[in-house]
Structure 1
Amino acid sequence: MVRRRVQFKKRSLVLPKDLQFLQISRCHDSRSLCDVPSLKHTSELKRITLIECKGIEHVLSFSSSCTLPLLQTLKKLMLVYLNNLQVLFRKERAISAWVPSDTFSCLKIIHLKGCSKIKKLLPPGLLLHLRNLEEI
């Protein structure tokens, strides 16, 4: 496993297409992973860890403007000390209407620590997609 440290401020971040592990720490400018456009090009992402990102209000948004292939391969989602996190997945319309059936089909673990403002863990329409979820 190759580890790379990527720093990004106001520049556009380009991630490798074969990226498997992503950890974002103390990045306060983004409200969700949808704000990282190059994630759309990753197709092998297995684990995402977000640590102390004050701007994060939701991890993903189910909308036509946020389509991320990582949703089909992701196995582990770790969210640590996200002080402004309110919901994991924000939806703009009915999830079942346009989310592919294999969305989150590999997700096994959702780990939350120090996310005190979270209001809603998962929207009901998403539960059908989490058939391999083992641990929250």
Structure 2
Amino acid sequence: MESLTAYRDFQVKFLNGIQGLICECIDARSLCDVLSLENANELERISIRECDNMESLVSSSWFCSAPPRLPSCNGTFSGLKVFFCHGCKSMKKLFPLVLLPNLVNLERIEVSFCYKMEEIIGATDEESSTSNSIMEVILPKLITLELVCLPELKSIYSAKLICNSLEKINVYRCQKLKRMPICLPLLENGQPSPPPSLKEILACPRQWWETVVEWEHPNAKDVLRPFVK
């Protein structure tokens, strides 16, 4: 069963059967204009499409009220499995760093045609200026990471990202991206090995991938080359 909720001059669709939220062509600057994030711990699927005025997933005003609840933020997005973001022309940062410890069930991230997107995981100014920021993030169930046509993307995450369940990485036309923060599992001799679940890496353009992109371990490219298409 689907229910439709109107908010100001846009509409948001809640899919009760799969705990899903679809935002299409809405005039919101963040999800905080759509729902209370304190009640977002049961959402399994979020799809944000062609919301041209949306600048971030979570507004800065929410962060101002968040510190008493840190670092758990009441489990916000702790049930999230699938996240899509497509065609949001003003979006610059996707996931705020403070929410990353909650994304233990996230399986799929797909971001495409967001022409101002600069960071997938971004810290606030306050987090950047302190030494207490999370330096290593684990997304234990992430299977798919797909980044398509993000011409301003400079960072997936500034520190280390551990995703040992990855099956597919797709990075297409993100030519300002220079670093892949994903840490590969290490063998006893200290050399990297592919995540055991990895099936393929789709990368374009090829020259950018081979000559510009750097991984956490200097030998990672050689190890991953059989998976690259």
Q: TM-score if structure 1 supplies the norm length? A: 0.72
CA offsets 1:15-51 (integer angstroms, 9 cap, x no match): 79997011011111x2211233434224321001111
Distance 1:16 1:39, change over 3 A: farther
Hey, what does 2:6 align to over in structure 1?
Answer: 7
**Offset at residue 113 of structure 1 (A):** 1.6
| Partner amino acid, structure 2, of 1:79 | C
Distance 1:18 1:58, change over 3 A: same
5+ residue gaps, structure 2, are: 67-72, 124-133, 146-229
Secondary structure at the residue paired with 2:77? Answer: helix
CA offsets 1:37-76 (integer angstroms, 9 cap, x no match): 4342243210011111111111135825254644110001
**Which of 88, 95, 99 is the aligned partner of 2:94?**
88
Hey, what does 2:128 align to over in structure 1?
Answer: none
CA distance in 2, matches of 1:80, 1:68: 27
| Partner amino acid, structure 2, of 1:23 | I
Hey, what does 1:73 align to over in structure 2?
Answer: 79
CA distance in 1, matches of 2:52, 2:121: 21
**Offset at residue 100 of structure 1 (A):** 8.1
Distance 1:132 1:16, change over 3 A: closer
- Asked if the contact 2:107–2:142 (Cα under 8 Å) also holds between the matched residues in 1, the reply is yes
Distance 1:36 1:121, change over 3 A: same
- Asked if the contact 1:46–1:76 (Cα under 8 Å) also holds between the matched residues in 2, the reply is yes
Confirm whether residue 132 of structure 1 aligns to residue 132 of structure 2: no
| Partner amino acid, structure 2, of 1:87 | K
5+ residue gaps, structure 1, are: none
| Partner amino acid, structure 2, of 1:36 | V
Hey, what does 2:47 align to over in structure 1?
Answer: 49
Secondary structure at the residue paired with 1:34? Answer: helix
Task: Compute the RMSD of aligned alpha carbons.
Answer: 3.2
- Asked if the contact 1:41–1:69 (Cα under 8 Å) also holds between the matched residues in 2, the reply is no
Distance 1:38 1:112, change over 3 A: same
Runs of 4+ more than 6 Å apart? 15-19
Distance 1:58 1:100, change over 3 A: closer
| Partner amino acid, structure 2, of 1:76 | V
- Asked if the contact 1:19–1:44 (Cα under 8 Å) also holds between the matched residues in 2, the reply is no
Distance 1:123 1:42, change over 3 A: closer
Distance 1:37 1:108, change over 3 A: same
- Asked if the contact 2:18–2:45 (Cα under 8 Å) also holds between the matched residues in 1, the reply is no
Secondary structure at the residue paired with 1:63? Answer: helix
Distance 1:47 1:70, change over 3 A: farther
Identity of aligned residues (%): 23
Q: TM-score if structure 2 supplies the norm length? A: 0.46
Q: How many residues align?
A: 125
